[in-house]
Amino acid sequence: MLSAKVSAALNKQIELEAASSQYYLSMASWGETQGLNGVSTFLYEHADEERMHMLKLIKFVNERGGHGIVPSLKQPPVTFKSVKAVFEEILKHEIMVTNEINNLVETTLKEKDYTTHNFLQWYVSEQIEEEALARQIVDKLKLIGDDKSGLYFFDRDLESMAAKTKGQMDKAKGQR
Ligand code: OFO
């Protein structure tokens, strides 16, 4: 059984994962309107991945006798300055999410909830990957600068990265 504190903290994380999904979905839609098919495919996948993070939490909370609450969400930004600005935002956002996961882990230790602590280790590893990936993409974009053909190849690269993410997501779904 979850304590009131752990339950509230997990529901806060559910909200954050949902907001992340919504945010990336908005970025994906913007990318599509800019003719950036690779960028938008990658971001649509990323939005789905965040939704999966949310679902995993909802199911866990319910399994442990709590109630996973589906949150209402604020409208995310709808336009972005550039592709680089989008990925810099993602990196910033993921660093914030990592901090929130760490706070959540700390709450479970204070509450001596070792089951939830164990469950959250998946999120701890996932955040390492998400931050590393966002950092890698921002670095690539810095190298490309204003080079239009560089951006064209970058967009194509992201399309194949999206296919990889989809594969990982399907695997994670299978493990749920
Ligand atoms: Fe859920 O990992 Fe990003 O936000």
State both tokens at 146.
Answer: 């204003």
Quote the DSSP letter at residue 92: H
Measured distance CA(74)–CA(154) in Å, rounded: 31
pLDDT at position 164, please?
Answer: 75
Inter-residue contact 23 to 133 (CB < 8 Å)? no
For the 4-175 domain, the top CATH level (class) is mainly alpha
Mean pLDDT of the chain: 94
Please check the confidence at residue 172 and state whether its pLDDT lies above 80.
Answer: no
Q: List, in sequence order, the alpha helices (H) in the chain.
A: 4-33, 37-63, 83-110, 114-144, 148-175
Q: How far is the CA of 149 from the centre of ligand 1 (A)?
A: 30
From 14, 125, 120, select the one nearest 66 (Cα to Cα). 14
Inter-residue contact 29 to 40 (CB < 8 Å)? yes
pLDDT at position 166, please?
Answer: 73
From 140, 136, 163, select the one nearest 151 (Cα to Cα). 140
48 lines ligand 1 (CB under 6 A): no
Nearest 5 degrees, angle CA 101-CA 20-CA 170? 85
The whole-number average pLDDT for the span 65-74 is: 97
Confidence class for position 169, pLDDT limits 50, 70, 90: low
Q: How far is the CA of 154 from the centre of ligand 1 (A)?
A: 22
Mutational test site, ligand 1, from 14, 48, 50, max ligand atoms within 8 Å of CB: 50
Measured distance CA(24)–CA(29) in Å, rounded: 9
For 89-147, write each residue's pLDDT tens digit. Answer: 999 999 999 999 999 999 999 999 999 999 999 999 999 999 999 999 999 999 999 89
pTM of the predicted model, to two decimals?
0.92
Distances (CA, A) of 62 to 36, 55, 151: 39, 11, 44
Which residue type occupies 67? H
Name the residue with the closest Cα to ligand 1, atom 1. Answer: 50
Measured distance CA(147)–CA(94) in Å, rounded: 27
Q: How far is the CA of 113 from the centre of ligand 1 (A)?
A: 23
* Domain chopping of the chain, boundaries: 4-175
